[in-house]
Amino acid sequence: MTILSHRLQFVRPSETKAMTARAAALRSSGVNVIVLSQGEPDFPTPAAICEAGVRAIGEGRTRYTAVAGAAQLREAICAKLNRDYGLDYGIDQITVGCGAKQVIFNALYASLDASDEVIVPTPCWVSYPDMVALAGGTAVLAPSGPENGFKLRPESLAAAITKRTKWLILNSPSNPTGAVYTADELAALAEVLRHHPQVHILSDDIYEKLVYDIAFASILSVAPDLFERVLIVNGVSKANAMTGWRVGYAAGPTQIIKAMNTIQGQTSSHTSSISQYAAIEALGGDQRHVSDFAAEFQKRRDLVVGLLGRAPGLSCPVPDGAFYAFPSCAGLIGKRTSQGKPITSDVDFTDYLLDQFGVATVPGSAFLAPSFLRISYASSQIELDLACKRIIYACEALT
């Protein structure tokens, strides 16, 4: 008899974490590996943010905070949302957790029953369907392919909605594709949602500050009438190079925020008090580093997309946001390595890149998009240049 829960059989380990762990093991054995599998900026956390954390320690802010987060941080989040999007929230409509991932999990766990469905546009971040399963719900996958810019179309949304639909998850800019919804595209989705008042929207905005050649749009900017049905999820990890500080937050209707706080009160209690006080500086202090990071990521994007365009068999669209390239490797399926091993899938190709050329990427299958691969360009331009040249050579070596 197993001690494990029945629902765990439907949950996969994170492919991004698994690939990064494999790369780390190879590195520790002396293999030269370039890791492009992790969604983590390589910049140091800005000095002013670090100093705020140190100052918090010196001031003795090392005790429990409120389950929902320190009041000062929630006030800073309210100010940020008003400053950026003209949205008015009170601190009781804000909750802070151990990264955006935990915040999303809390929302799903607090709201889903066994018969409830969550629409997840695919390709999608690896954790969405599995968190839905852990919370006892059913993920309804809504494919959004490259012909639509990897963005959900209104007719596809309408077709996916049933009486059991409770959430639609929208992630813009997208992990893994870098796709960004325009204001007009969000307005078209909102028009469908108005006909289905039982459907709530979880808007994962974690990459909002990392957009290129296009403006970020919030669904509430184009559909303020949906205010009571939208949960905004964000954090400080990506735009502020604070992945390890583990601070995410949500803004939304008081009912769901209170329920999320109940879940958190029985699990993690709250995220690190020191991290929270550092996050106040990240959200309310000098923001120049954010635009500096975005400008550097855009240079890296252009470098990676340009080089991948020289790789035979790969086809790489230009992403509008985040820090991921998502090329198709369909042109390589059916080819063979120099040892005669066939490339039958994106998994085979990413294994080939890692094992023979020392480049760690993530197969598109992990994001429910077979025949693609995700390449993070959150590494230095020197590493990216070398990694892409290895990828070009790997493609050329296939017969």
Tens digit of pLDDT for each residue in 131-154? Answer: 999 999 999 999 998 999 999 999
pTM, rounded to two decimals: 0.95
Find tokens 């039982």 and name the residue: 198
Neighbouring C-beta atoms of residue 268, cutoff 10 Å: 15
Q: Which residues have CB under 8 Å from 5's CB, separation 6+? A: none
What is the DSSP code (8-state) at residue 232?
E
Per-residue model confidence (pLDDT) at position 87: 96
Map out the domains of the chain as residue ranges.
Answer: 6-44+289-397, 63-285
Give 286-336 pLDDT, tens digit per residue.
999 999 999 999 999 999 999 999 999 999 999 999 999 999 999 999 999
CATH code for 6-44+289-397?
Answer: 3.90.1150.10
Phi-psi group of 313: left, alpha or beta (phi > 0 → left; psi -120 to 50 → alpha; rest → beta): left
pLDDT confidence of residue 110: 97
The label of the residue with tokens 């205010």 reads 227
Same fold: 6-44+289-397 with 63-285: no
Q: What pLDDT is attached to residue 399?
A: 95
Residue stretches of the chain with pLDDT short of 50 = none
Q: What is the CA radius of gyration of the chain?
A: 21
Estimate to the nearest angstrom the gap between the alpha carbon of 365 and the chain centroid.
16
Domain 63-285 -> CATH class? alpha beta
